[in-house]
């Protein structure tokens, strides 16, 4: 070692450095010995322990948001569903436990043992479900015996529950297990196989609002899967509640009135487009879908010839019948083709384009003007006005008044209906338009197709004297305390290009329909200015229309005809639109109108 330390003698402190280094070396050797012990001598012990170290993730299911009507009546609720399970590991004496539990839960001891035996291959610590959907009494009993019976455990899970069963099932929709295909579709990001999601109705449309965030627990389990404690826990977050525009009382009444029939009812506030009742019959019980539906039961529902799953109010497409006559009247008045004074003579029969057409009253209506034409729903009058307008104009006004396009309601699967014109016929059927078809269309027959909801919108445009609204089920008021970020997108409305005074003339006719011995007299309520229009038509597809028309005669007419009524009230500043469709109901005035009357009556008593 070179000695370059000129000024001082550093040897004593260098000695101290050396000693310290030796101490550190000893420590390092000591550490190595420790590692030797842990890694070589105790390796087997730690290897087993590391094998036993596993993490298990448990999902804590979140609650879906509630769905309420406009008065906070809960239409879709969550029910705590409890199930009891047995953990064999915790049994001191298995037979004794079985005896106790069977007495407690009213299960035959043999049945219980049989059930447990089925899961014999399960690890002993894993709970075996022995009873589902426990009653509150049973829950209380189990809870009280918690210490006495550690082998019996309660597991809670929130379950969707529709307290009124069938009520507004079509609007609410139902929830079901997410399928493999739906996961692949990418629409349900972050959801897993077996998660319950809204399949139709508002449950589907507002899935993102309703769905909560599931909680997760990460727990340590050993190689046998026994819980050794929690690492992290994230509590589940409840979904947001949804408030609908539906009115429980009106909805209930509408469904009661439809009972035993096939048909649909729409009640809507024409000022805002808020749907107060949306009924379709036959219906189904959405509660049944939440339990893992057995395929058999499902097939029964799907294959039911009455199609209970179909929401007729938005998906049923029908010919509008006489209700469509108002389109002709509005169009002709707007175009100046007729005025209130213009009259036609109805003799019950007429020949147009060398084809015979008839009015529904054999003896005819005599001299018919606009008001009388609407009041008595005269076919002859409308044939002639329609002929004057021509199909192009009829089609234009029909579209203007909401036909042929979806209304934009916040429900999935809405149908657009059909407004025919020569171009459509050329493109779809590859045939030229027959002039006679224009005459059929003039009274709402022919290839025309509309949904009950479209009729309700059409009625509301008339009621509003030209203002069109978008129907919706989501209430725009804030969700219980929580402010919604933006208003629902259906608050907008736009004006139809027809003068309000033109509407007034047609409304006068509609008033006479109900209040002055017209076809809709059965909807009359004293002291309530209801304006309406009846319609009678067929559901059968239009191609078969003519063949069938030949077959069905007189007495059959009553049963094969669909019955329409649509109306609004009061005449000035209308507040409610009621549209009723009864399949095979017969004449609109006879079946649909009295039904509408009851709904108007209920509305009047409740809101006026």
Partner 1 sequence: MQLRLLWQGNYLIYTKENMIDRNLFRNIDWILICLLLLNSIIGVAFIYSSSLYLPESYYLKQIFWIILSSIALFLFLSIDYETLVTYSFYIYIVFIGILGGILLFGKPIAGAKSWIKFPFFHFQPSEVAKVIIILILVHVFAKFRKDYLSWGKGLLGVTIIAVPSFLVALQPDLGTALSYIPIFLASLILAGLNRKIVIFILIFALALGVVSWNFALKDYQKKRLTTLISPGQDPLGSGYHILQSKIAIGSGGLLGKGFGKGTQSQLRFLPARHTDFVFSVIGEEFGFLGIVLIMLSYSFFLWRLFQSVAQSRDRAGVYIIFMVAVMIAFQFVVNLMMIIGLFPIAGIPLPLISYGGSSLLTNYLGISLVLNVKMRRFVNV
Q: Is residue 43 at the binding interface for partner 1, with CB under 8 A as the rule? A: yes
Q: Is residue 5 at the binding interface for partner 1, with CB under 8 A as the rule? A: yes
Site string for partner 1, 379-408 (x = CB under 8 A): ------------------------------
Q: How far apart are CA 443 and CA 23, in angstroms?
A: 109
Q: Is residue 27 at the binding interface for partner 1, with CB under 8 A as the rule? A: yes
Minimum distance, C-beta of residue 228 to partner 1, in the bound complex (Å): 7
Q: Are 383 and 350 in contact (CB under 8 A)?
A: yes
Nearest Cα neighbor of 324 from 77, 572, 566 is 566
The residue within the footprint of partner 1, chosen from 10, 111, 140, 300 (CB under 8 A), is 10
Nearest Cα neighbor of 202 from 246, 264, 165 is 246
Minimum distance, C-beta of residue 85 to partner 1, in the bound complex (Å): 25
Q: Is residue 47 at the binding interface for partner 1, with CB under 8 A as the rule? A: yes
Q: Cα 414 from chain centroid? A: 11
Element (H, E) at 355: strand 355-358
Minimum distance, C-beta of residue 127 to partner 1, in the bound complex (Å): 22
* Closer residue to partner 1 in complex, CB, 223/345: 223
Q: Is residue 39 at the binding interface for partner 1, with CB under 8 A as the rule? A: yes
* Closer residue to partner 1 in complex, CB, 6/147: 6
Element (H, E) at 373: helix 370-375
Q: Is residue 133 at the binding interface for partner 1, with CB under 8 A as the rule? A: no
Applying CB under 8 A, which part among 45-53, 106-114, 119-127, 301-309 lies near partner 1? Answer: 45-53
Which residue is listed with tokens 């509609």? 510
Q: Is residue 58 at the binding interface for partner 1, with CB under 8 A as the rule? A: no
Helices (H), 486-552: 500-515, 545-551
Q: Is residue 32 at the binding interface for partner 1, with CB under 8 A as the rule? A: yes
Minimum distance, C-beta of residue 163 to partner 1, in the bound complex (Å): 43
Q: Are 225 and 539 in contact (CB under 8 A)?
A: no
Minimum distance, C-beta of residue 3 to partner 1, in the bound complex (Å): 10
List binders of partner 1 among 235-264 (CB under 8 A). Answer: none
Minimum distance, C-beta of residue 224 to partner 1, in the bound complex (Å): 16
What are the residues facing 155 on neighbouring strands?
Answer: 83
Q: Is residue 223 at the binding interface for partner 1, with CB under 8 A as the rule? A: no
Applying CB under 8 A, which part among 38-46, 205-213, 314-322, 581-589 lies near partner 1? Answer: 38-46
Applying CB under 8 A, which part among 48-56, 150-158, 266-274, 310-318 lies near partner 1? Answer: 48-56
Instruction: Report the catalytic residues.
Output: 322
Applying CB under 8 A, which part among 224-232, 287-295, 363-371, 375-383 lies near partner 1? Answer: 224-232
The residue within the footprint of partner 1, chosen from 217, 220, 335, 479 (CB under 8 A), is 220
Applying CB under 8 A, which part among 17-25, 71-79, 327-335, 471-479 lies near partner 1? Answer: 17-25
Q: Is residue 14 at the binding interface for partner 1, with CB under 8 A as the rule? A: yes
Integer CA distances (angstroms), 436 to 150, 334, 351, 403, 544, in order: 82, 23, 10, 21, 16
Q: Is residue 147 at the binding interface for partner 1, with CB under 8 A as the rule? A: no
Minimum distance, C-beta of residue 227 to partner 1, in the bound complex (Å): 11
Residue 216, exposed/middle/buried by CB under 10 A (0-12, 13-18, 19+)?
middle
Could you please report the per-residue DSSP string of 298-328? HHHHHH-TT-TTS-HHHH--B--GGGGHHHH
Q: Is residue 228 at the binding interface for partner 1, with CB under 8 A as the rule? A: yes
The residue within the footprint of partner 1, chosen from 186, 190, 229, 336 (CB under 8 A), is 229
What residues contact 466, with CB distance under 8 A and at least 6 apart?
495, 496, 497, 498, 499, 500, 503
Nearest Cα neighbor of 442 from 387, 397, 402, 510 is 387
Q: Is residue 551 at the binding interface for partner 1, with CB under 8 A as the rule? A: no
Q: Is residue 46 at the binding interface for partner 1, with CB under 8 A as the rule? A: yes
Q: Is 46 helix (H, G, I), strand (E, B) or coil?
A: helix
Applying CB under 8 A, which part among 2-10, 151-159, 467-475, 516-524 lies near partner 1? Answer: 2-10
Q: How far apart are CA 582 and CA 564, in angstroms?
A: 7
Q: Cα 227 from chain centroid? A: 41
Minimum distance, C-beta of residue 285 to partner 1, in the bound complex (Å): 46
Minimum distance, C-beta of residue 32 to partner 1, in the bound complex (Å): 6
* Closer residue to partner 1 in complex, CB, 38/140: 38
Nearest Cα neighbor of 440 from 326, 545, 585, 332 is 545
- b vs e for 272-303, b when ≥16 Cβ sit within 10 Å of the residue's Cβ? bbbbbbbbbbbbbebbebbeeeeeeeeeeeee
Q: Is residue 45 at the binding interface for partner 1, with CB under 8 A as the rule? A: yes
Q: Are 458 and 325 in contact (CB under 8 A)?
A: no
Minimum distance, C-beta of residue 271 to partner 1, in the bound complex (Å): 52
What residues contact 534, with CB distance under 8 A and at least 6 apart?
322, 323, 377, 513, 519, 520, 563, 564, 565, 587, 588, 589, 592, 593
Angle at 546 between CA 544 and CA 549, to 5 degrees: 105
Applying CB under 8 A, which part among 34-42, 201-209, 432-440, 482-490 lies near partner 1? Answer: 34-42
Which one-letter DSSP state was computed for residue 599?
H
Task: Identify each DSSP E strand in 443-539 by its residue range.
Answer: 467-469, 493-495, 531-537
Applying CB under 8 A, which part among 37-45, 151-159, 387-395, 404-412 lies near partner 1? Answer: 37-45
Q: Are 69 and 137 in contact (CB under 8 A)?
A: no
* Closer residue to partner 1 in complex, CB, 44/605: 44
* Closer residue to partner 1 in complex, CB, 21/353: 21
**What is the total count of residues that contact partner 1 (CB under 8 A)?**
42
Q: Which residues contribute to the site for partner 1 (CB under 8 A)?
A: 1, 4-8, 10, 12-14, 16-18, 20-21, 24-25, 27-28, 31-32, 34-36, 38-40, 42-43, 45-47, 49-51, 53-55, 220, 228-230
């Amino acid at each position: 070692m070179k000695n370059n330390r000129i000024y001082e003698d550093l040897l004593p402190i260098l000695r101290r450095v050396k000693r310290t280094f030796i101490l550190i070396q000893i420590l390092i050797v000591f550490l190595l010995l420790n590692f030797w012990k842990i890694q070589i001598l105790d390796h087997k012990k730690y290897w087993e322990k590391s094998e036993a170290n596993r993490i298990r993730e448990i999902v804590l299911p979140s609650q879906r948001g509630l769905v309420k009507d406009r008065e906070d009546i809960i239409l879709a609720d969550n029910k705590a569903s409890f199930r009891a399970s047995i953990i064999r590991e915790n049994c001191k004496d298995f037979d004794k436990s079985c005896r106790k539990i069977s007495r407690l839960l009213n299960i035959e001891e043999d049945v219980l043992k049989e059930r447990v035996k089925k899961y014999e291959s399960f690890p002993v610590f894993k709970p075996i479900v022995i009873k589902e959907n426990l009653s509150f009494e049973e829950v209380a009993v189990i809870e009280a015996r918690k210490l006495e019976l550690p082998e019996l455990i309660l597991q809670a899970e929130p379950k969707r529950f529709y307290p009124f069963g069938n009520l507004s099932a079509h609007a609410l929709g139902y929830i079901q297990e997410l399928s493999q295909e739906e996961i692949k579709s990418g629409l349900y990001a972050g959801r897993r196989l077996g998660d319950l999601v809204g399949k139709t109705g508002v449950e589907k449309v507002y899935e993102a609002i309703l769905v909560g965030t599931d909680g997760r627990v990460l727990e340590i389990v050993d190689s046998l899967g026994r819980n050794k404690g929690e690492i992290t826990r994230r509590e589940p977050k409840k979904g947001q509640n949804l408030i609908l525009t539906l009115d429980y009382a009106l909805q209930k009444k509408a469904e009661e009135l439809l009972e035993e029939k096939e048909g649909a009812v729409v009640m809507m506030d024409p000022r805002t487009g808020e749907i107060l009742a949306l009924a379709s019959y036959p219906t189904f019980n959405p509660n049944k879908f939440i339990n893992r539906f057995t395929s058999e039961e499902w097939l029964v529902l799907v294959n039911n010839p009455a199609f209970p799953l179909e929401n007729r109010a938005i998906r049923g497409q029908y010919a509008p019948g006489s209700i469509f006559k108002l389109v002709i009247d509005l169009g002709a008045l707007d175009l100046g083709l007729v005025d209130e004074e213009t009259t036609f003579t109805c003799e019950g029969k007429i020949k147009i384009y060398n084809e015979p057409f008839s009015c529904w009253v054999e003896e005819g209506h005599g001299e018919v003007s606009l008001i009388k034409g609407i009041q008595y729903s005269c076919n002859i009058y409308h044939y002639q006005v329609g002929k004057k307008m021509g199909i192009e104009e009829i089609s234009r006004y029909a579209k203007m008044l909401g036909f042929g396009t979806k209304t934009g309601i916040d429900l999935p699967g809405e149908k657009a209906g059909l407004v025919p014109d020569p171009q459509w016929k050329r493109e779809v059927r590859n045939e030229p338009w027959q002039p006679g078809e224009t005459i059929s269309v003039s009274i709402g027959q022919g290839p025309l197709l509309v949904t009950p909801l479209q009729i309700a919108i059409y009625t509301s445009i008339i009621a509003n004297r030209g203002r069109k609204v978008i129907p919706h089920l989501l209430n725009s008021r804030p969700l219980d305390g929580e402010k919604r970020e933006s208003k629902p997108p259906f608050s907008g409305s736009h004006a139809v290009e027809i003068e309000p005074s033109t509407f007034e003339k047609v409304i006068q006719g509609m008033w006479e329909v109900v209040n002055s011995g017209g076809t809709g007299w059965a909807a009359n309520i004293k002291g309530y200015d209801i304006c309406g229009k009846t319609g009678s038509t067929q559901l059968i597809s239009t191609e078969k229309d003519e063949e069938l028309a030949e077959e069905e005669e007189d007495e059959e007419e009553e049963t094969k005809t669909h019955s329409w009524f649509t109306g609004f009230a009061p005449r000035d500043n209308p507040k409610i639109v009621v549209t009723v469709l009864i399949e095979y109901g017969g004449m609109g005035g006879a079946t649909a109108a009295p039904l509408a009357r009851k709904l108007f009556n209920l509305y009047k008593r409740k809101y006026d």
